[in-house]
Structure 1
Amino acid sequence: MIEPTGLRARKKARTRDALADAAISLFLAHGFDEVSVSDIAAAAEVSKPTLFRYFPTKEDLVLHRFADHLGEAARVVRDRGPGVPPLAALHRHFRAALDRYEPVTGLNDHPAVVEFHRLVFTTPSLAGRLTQYMLEDEQALAEALDPGPDIRARLGAAQVIAVQRVLARANWQKIADGRTAREVHPEAVTDAELAFARLR
């Protein structure tokens, strides 16, 4: 019997999620550097080659959650309405994400999210891989601003991605220090307004 394509895709997605969940649980319990790929494969009851088919590197087991947002800034610029300046669209998008308490903004106080960010920010190899993701985002945004892209588009894209990173890290730090997302929200909005005003 031939398995329907939709079913096969759902099974692959479930396997991928199960592998990542097993890995993140182990990393949070024991530390990223203390857990081997073999440990993760054993916990998920798959072989190492199967694990590597889903995640090329150990870091990707953690950072695939950020990968969902790869190219997001470029998509916001490409999909903006007629007459909407790119920076206004990006500002509106970030502000809406703050209002939804999206983890990518750092403004989320669910204990698992706070610990996940702590793991990423305090593990050098994860922080380095996240920087690579941001560089890819920066390139995609520059091309959305100008297919060239010329130096102005590259500088603008770098500034936008840096601003989003700084805002998210500042929000996370306040929450990691013991405050709630609702308490931090007004400050996060004020900081975003200031940052995007300076970008303009």
Structure 2
Amino acid sequence: MSIPAAPDGRRARKRQQTADHLVQAAFDLFAEFGYDKVTMEQIAVAADVAKGTLYNHFPVKEALLHHRFHVDLAAAMPALFAELATLPGCAARLRAFLHRAADFAERFRDYMAPYLHYRLSQPVDTLGRDNRSGLDQIYARLLAEGQASGEIRADLPTQQLADTLQFMYLCTVMRWLRTPGASLAADFDAMLDLFLGGARAGGQA
């Protein structure tokens, strides 16, 4: 006979299941009516929960986006790393990952501005590793492989490089959101070229 799970484990699973249910109900409404037109009260009704339950899990509507995007990224990471491992070198892997990120952002463009506003509005002390999206750790892993192969400079800490690339990513996405008709994949290509090659003009000291 198996040993029963600890109460804390059951509570954590129940909380996760409730959060996932609330997020699914919210995204069903977003898809039907548009993100801006959906209220928290409507989400609670659609999910058949009390408003207090919804607010206990997600204090603001943007937090629902935060949960969905981070869960999706975590679920995609094993297959993503397996795919990237088939590519020759750090630069190719970073570029392929950024193109996947561009595809995701294009599909969820209507949600990207409120999501980024929510993320950037959080106090610094709430953005520890456990509360980040996971992008910095993807960059860190790919850049560490590049450092090990000699493709990426090794005189700077991997995490410093990863954090720098993530901030460049955020700036690129925000610029894309303000530029109608822009290609995010092309913008990411230019960003990565800048990151890998620097801004110094050829031949200058």
Do both share a fold (TM > 0.5)?
Answer: yes
Contact 1:71 1:140 in 2 (8 A): no
Partner of residue 193 from structure 1, selected from 189, 193, 201: 189
Give the secondary-structure state (helix, strand or coil) at the position aligned to 2:178. Answer: helix
Q: Which runs of 5+ in 2 are unaligned?
A: 1-15, 146-154, 197-205
Correspondence for 1:117: 112
Correspondence for 1:138: 136
Shift of 1:196: 1.2
Distance in 2 between residues matched to 1:29 and 1:141, nearest whole Å: 35
Partner of residue 167 from structure 2, selected from 162, 168, 171: 162
1:60 aligns with 2:63: yes
TM-score (norm 2): 0.54
Deviation by residue 1:146-178 (Cα, 9 ceiling, x = unmatched): 59xx95201111122122222222222113xxx
Shift of 1:76: 5.1
Distance in 2 between residues matched to 1:152 and 1:11, nearest whole Å: 39
Structure number with greater CO (CA < 8 Å, separation at least 6) is 1
Q: Percent identity?
A: 15
1:86 aligns with 2:79: no
Structure 1 pair 42/10, CA: closer, same or farther in 2 (3 Å)?
A: closer
Structure 1 pair 79/92, CA: closer, same or farther in 2 (3 Å)?
A: closer
Aligned AA (2:84): R
Shift of 1:23: 7.6
RMSD over aligned Cα atoms: 4.5
Deviation by residue 1:4-52 (Cα, 9 ceiling, x = unmatched): xxxxx9998555401454489696127xxxx5x5664245321246536
Q: Which runs of 5+ in 1 are unaligned?
A: 1-8
Distance in 1 between residues matched to 2:47 and 2:133, nearest whole Å: 31
Aligned AA (1:165): L
